[in-house]
Chain A
Amino acid sequence: MNEGAGRGRLLPAASEGGPFVNADLLRKRAATAALLAGFRRQNMILVGLLFFTAAVAPALPFVQDWMATQASLVIIYILAAQGVSILTGQTGLVTVGHGGFLAIGAYTSALLAKYFAVDLSIDLVSGGIAAGLIGCVLGLIFLRLAGAFMAIGTLGFAFFVGAIVNNVPIFEGRDGIQMPHSHLFGMRLDDFGFYYVSLATLGLTTAFVYTLLRSPVGRAFRALRDAEKAAESSGVNRLFYRTLAFTISAFLTGVAGVLNANITGYVSAETYGDIWYSVDFLVATVVGGSSALMGPFVGGAFIVMVPFYLEQLADFAFILKGVVLILVLQFAPAGVCDLIARPFRDLRRKQLQRVQDDAAKTPPPALAALFSRGRQ
């Protein structure tokens, strides 16, 4: 028996951070680990570049106000799609009702702005929390649902929210609520100001989502998605993680809702009482693809830009969205992101293979170096 081993324990307990015993294995994994870390750095640089470009773009000469608004709209959809992707893509619970959470965020913001004239920063947090709480409750109510029934249940939820905003007087139904102009920390926001606020919010949420999904929590989500009983037998608490997924997912879409309300300064049951947002977000998730990070970006951009270019012919927008959706499903079912990323993935796989084959020949690195290189 290995020294220091207890029953079932190979070494001093894992929680104490015991070292490897096998130097050979260390050596082999070192190169692989370094390569994988390199891939992750590349991904982060790519996303960072995207944000950087977005941040400096307004300085370009041909950029006008309406572009900032349009870009903000894309950001809002990406944010909402991030919410959907956590629940559907990562935890496997299909939702066709996130328009409901968008509405909750939007109306929270509208009511706070109208009656209390609060700052946008408070709005964002409150709208997110309100949606998150309802999401938590919904997750508990729908605890035993799966698959198709979950989809229908969430669809029912979206319509329920719609029925409430249509009929409960405080929400002023189809007349809607006119909001005072949004301001952040006392400063009045113009189109570009709002754009930067949206971008910053997206930056925060993206960082959060990235961290979340790489952590054991993200692993627990995916385990529940792929093999629920096996996940439970491994110690994943179904109730806790499901509800957590719902809560986080609703929170993110709620925050998107706050931004959505503020971009027009007006909320009414006409837009929020419908299913269009809910199905749009699902389409964004499906078209964008299962990559939790980039999927929402691609999908969100798609769903907003299509109608934009067909502004005058809104009906054609519907038709085009439907046709593209069907084509994507038939020819690229894993989503557009997957399609684009495929050659890169193949390249990376070859690199990985080469590194693992070479590993036997390279000399072993120092043990300490392994743990200090930011390797996860």
Chain B
Amino acid sequence: MKHRTEIRDYHAPIWNEPVIMEMGSDGRRGLIFRKTDQKIFDELGDAKKLLPKGMFREEKPGLPELSEHEVQRHYLHLSQETLGMMGISLFGTCTMKYNPRLNEIVAGRSEVAETHPLQHEETLQGTLNIIHNFDLILRELSGMDNFVFQAGGGAHAAYTHCCLARSYHASKGDLEQRNEIITSIQAHPCNPATAASAGFNIITLPLGENGYPTLDALKAAVSDRTAGLLINNPDDMGIYNPNIKEWVKIVHDAGGLCFYDHANFNGVMGKIRARDLGFDACMYMLHKTFGVPKGGGGPAVGAYGCTSELAEFLPSPVVTKSEKSFNLDYDRPNSIGRIREFWGNVPQVIKAYSWARAMGANGIQEAAEISVLANNYMESRILKIRGITKSHPNISGYRMEMTRYSIEKVTADTGITVEDLSNRMVDFGIDAPWLAHHPWLVPQPFTPEAGECYSKEDIDYWIDVVEEIISEAYENPEIVKSAPHRQPIGKINAALLEDPDHWAMTWRAYIRKKSLKKKD
């Protein structure tokens, strides 16, 4: 079969856009506020006079001065200097999706954008209704009894769970003793990190031969100190742990709680339920699986659901439904309180609800099937490319919605690394793929995830580009090594980013360090 399509002659826009701190000219204005009403001014007078002594800011903030149009064009240029899924992005673990524009339009309307979370609940019945309906949808998908949306991302939902676990064990009087959380080296770093931030000690299980930790390793780890288990399944290599029910039982028998990090839900949506597997709680990322935009790293939502046994500890408020209305329940004495102000990224919950309604049960199951099919299709092609292998090649059979690959052999043969590959891929208008979380268990890894939103032609093109780059690596490695060539800027000097004499997280710091260097 001939796969190769013509490689596009892509080039990113280059604006040589200056940093805004250097733009504009004295006295220009981008936004003007009305002058204080004369009557008010006459009664109150200057701000300087009003403020406590010594609290008035005498000098003007050192901000640039630009006209409205200049600001608009500057940031439009910056958006154009961002590849941002304009081509194809198969960024594994993040489940890249089309974000329906309708949802942006609806969430941008005043019924959502111009509402305050402390308005009387009578005036927010529409929003509360949608949140409740979406809670019901997630209950059906997971088997859990109650969902909340305060968590501003997946990691934050893991943190929420750890806070619940503290309160749960404290209520039983054994928090002091139960201070250990068990996880796997293949779990997202946020699992051990949030558990540690919540005060727990961490036990990390290594992987066994089958690609997941062994039952024996888990049995050796549990004890009367076990507070719980935080685990994902399938993992980022597309491997599903078939012993997960036994895992849950072992942890429960030891007195711990089991949290299902459902970051990799896309391949199993409508196929399995966290509750059926015995879990006490789970988390879905609405900005990944449920079609909500990622915003380059949020605003995001980690929808957190748990069984009725844990519900009393959920953060407040919880949206409830009475006969006549939807309500916010703040009166929950055993709640962990707040993990973030208010009740979550409401527009994102509305977008997720809209996505779920557009998909329906059939669409959701179809998406899971297409994403697993597309991944295995990719695998069949990618493994034919010279020098590319997959993780745990000993494990035969189909992977779930992701496969982790390695170009270790290519690196040994040509010196080309996955970073080089990433830098070269963007020259073809394709977003660099996800590599792997640290520590790298597989050398020179990359992890694409096809999902359901890209066509077979897109997927083929993506693979064609990888194939093209690998043949470049063998025939003309310099072009890969020196990439990118068709992006707004060249390869950055990463060493300076870690050097206190050079790093500059603000323009002020940059100017200060530059002038110090001049003096040297």
Q: Do A and B come from one complex?
A: no
Chain B residues at the A interface, C-beta cutoff of 8 Å: none
